[in-house]
Structure 1
């Protein structure tokens, strides 16, 4: 085997073997910066008293910010993961083309070698010389057509060899380009993972400093805020106009999503035991036979948008200005969604968070 062939085959096999390594996420984490927390006061007996609602509200705002930033980073992680999967598949396909192209080139070289050997056996004489020296010119003339055909075949053979070599160079260049992009996405995944872990660790550390009664009151404040937002949304009369009926696929998506109630939120997860927000919605629609983009931001960008008043069960409700959260509308002014770390898949009011818009996967 020639050095050129060994090089291409080695490169192709290296690409196939290394793709899974590059697509693995990074593992480096940064220690979260210290976060100030409310300092409980103490009674005359020395017993800590819960922080006032004002302080707890500041804690809630801080937690919301941390978990929101984690959600944004999770979307970035998921997007990089999707790109890495696609690029890995493309690299493997290119590697297979390189191997197949090299095999075809070897075959063409063997054919060219056979033609050269045949020419050697005839002494390398021109067709004119062979005619003049032939003992049987008539027989030579009978074969002249075959000689011409052979010359045409040789020209075609050399042209095909050149084209195959050009294809191999293009495949190699494409593989190198996709390799660089895959490596860049690996680094993007590592950076996103680092940020996610930092935000979640900071949030968990902040919550761990609260007394039991403070945690209970904090949860109550969260419920009250969600109920207030939902009530304000319903008071607009929007529910009177929402009467869309779910499509057959929409019903299947809702059935899948609601079957996941109680399963924990885990960033980057898409089932079957845990989910993040877009992992739940994308898997629900995949189960319904209609795949959608993996991230909430891409769902917002790529799927058809509909007015809130026109939404129907199965539609996806996108939240916050940066499309960092998504839930699935299930009817009666409610959604099913995976809220955030530390929470489980649950049903909530569709208006309990700031709505950016609504998209319909099966438009």
Structure 2
């Protein structure tokens, strides 16, 4: 079965119109009038040149890239915290079971001690030796050996249960410590994400409407230039892999999300971040993969670009901070960045780090 394919000409036209990742920075503010002086008459703002707008675009792109890195850190900390919470719950259940078992064992040990006390404290061996009936003596000796074995087993089990409880308690304490550390990491990443996005939005808010449109066109031009260079390298002539059955399902899920907004930390169904989209698409195809783009790069099998097929994941930037799903014909579907929606873009419109395949 093949994945979703696009005629090459149509695909290139489509990806050329797609938006690439952009990123935030520091705002350009108009100076406030000095107290006690008359405000100067307002004049129309000096239009920015394409050169200055390109600098703005690069600054915004860098800020959103930093927000993407922080988002990966946030998602990783959240995933770890969820796993640790689940493990702590399981440990709590083990501790509860161990405590119930210990209570029963102690009750049995107490019953044995009380039985011995009621017997006057005379050892069973002495009672047997005083018996005149050989049969009773032998029968009693057998029961005594069984009783001693049972008592020894009970005491061993009691000691083992106490050791288990000590280990469980120590493990739970360690996991609580890690959980707290991951919560702090998540909070720090969240703060950084918000700060970077706010800085980017502040820059964009200083732009006039026409400048915002020109900025978007500059973004598209930058993406088009990178895509064109990638296509001109001849890489596409060697890429003709067919999608697997699961890869096709993953592609169908991902493309069905087109138009939904990017929201950092989101895994659907109404919004996604980049790795939230790819991980959920493959989950829908019946294959669980790591939550973050960095872990997807670390853990999933890698394939050469020339061998990639629809459904494979393309990891971007040297720090593996972005991911998109390959559709075929040089296109990807991805969740670009805050302020943008899930869309189709050129696979070569960003710096490719490598390709991974969830269903090798």
Which of the numbers 26, 46, 49 marks the counterpart of 1:35? Answer: 26
Which of the numbers 323, 326, 339 marks the counterpart of 2:320? Answer: 323
Q: Give the corresponding residue for 2:34.
A: none
Q: Give the corresponding residue for 1:171.
A: 168
User: Are the counterparts in 2 of residues 38 and 55 from structure 1 also a CA contact under 8 Å?
Assistant: no
User: Are the counterparts in 1 of residues 267 and 280 from structure 2 also a CA contact under 8 Å?
Assistant: yes
Query: What's the TM-score, normalizing by structure 2?
Result: 0.88
| Cα offset, 1:148, TM superposition | 1.5
What runs of 5+ residues in structure 1 fail to find an aligned partner?
A: 1-32
The 5-angstrom pairing of residues 76-91 of structure 1 reads 76-91=73-88
Pair 1:241-2:238 in alignment:
yes
What runs of 5+ residues in structure 2 fail to find an aligned partner?
A: 1-23, 31-40
Could you list the per-position Cα deviations for residues 44-100 of structure 1 after superposition, in whole angstroms to 9, with x for gaps in the alignment?
994334201111011101101100000000000000011001100000000000000
Which of the numbers 222, 242, 245 marks the counterpart of 1:225? Answer: 222
| Cα offset, 1:254, TM superposition | 0.2
Aligned in 2, Cα 1:38/1:230: closer, same or farther, shift over 3 Å?
farther
Which of the numbers 175, 179, 184 marks the counterpart of 1:182? Answer: 179
How many residues of Structure 1 are paired with residues of Structure 2 in the alignment? 328
User: Are the counterparts in 1 of residues 276 and 291 from structure 2 also a CA contact under 8 Å?
Assistant: yes
Q: Give the corresponding residue for 2:65.
A: 68
Pair 1:271-2:275 in alignment:
no
| Cα offset, 1:110, TM superposition | 1.1
User: Are the counterparts in 2 of residues 38 and 51 from structure 1 also a CA contact under 8 Å?
Assistant: no
Which of the numbers 243, 248, 251 marks the counterpart of 1:254? Answer: 251
Q: Which has the higher contact order (CA 8 A, sep 6+)?
A: 2
Q: Quick one: distance in 2 between partners of 1:339 and 1:175?
A: 39
Could you list the per-position Cα deviations for residues 131-177 of structure 1 after superposition, in whole angstroms to 9, with x for gaps in the alignment?
35446564233212101211111111111100000000000000000
Q: Give the corresponding residue for 1:162.
A: 159
User: Are the counterparts in 2 of residues 305 and 358 from structure 1 also a CA contact under 8 Å?
Assistant: yes
Could you list the per-position Cα deviations for residues 323-354 of structure 1 after superposition, in whole angstroms to 9, with x for gaps in the alignment?
00000000110000000000000000000001
The 5-angstrom pairing of residues 51-66 of structure 1 reads 51-66=48-63
Q: Quick one: distance in 2 between partners of 1:165 and 1:78?
A: 38
Q: Quick one: distance in 2 between partners of 1:199 and 1:129?
A: 84
Aligned in 2, Cα 1:215/1:151: closer, same or farther, shift over 3 Å?
same
Alignment RMSD: 1.9
Could you list the per-position Cα deviations for residues 185-223 of structure 1 after superposition, in whole angstroms to 9, with x for gaps in the alignment?
000000000000000000001100111111011001001
Q: Quick one: distance in 2 between partners of 1:254 and 1:238?
A: 21
SS in 2 for 1:261: coil
SS in 2 for 1:336: strand
Q: Give the corresponding residue for 1:95.
A: 92
User: Are the counterparts in 1 of residues 25 and 62 from structure 2 also a CA contact under 8 Å?
Assistant: no
User: Are the counterparts in 1 of residues 263 and 338 from structure 2 also a CA contact under 8 Å?
Assistant: yes
Aligned in 2, Cα 1:341/1:36: closer, same or farther, shift over 3 Å?
closer
| Cα offset, 1:38, TM superposition | 8.4
Which of the numbers 281, 284, 287 marks the counterpart of 1:287? Answer: 284
Query: What's the TM-score, normalizing by structure 1?
Result: 0.87
Q: Quick one: distance in 1 between partners of 2:254 and 2:199?
A: 30
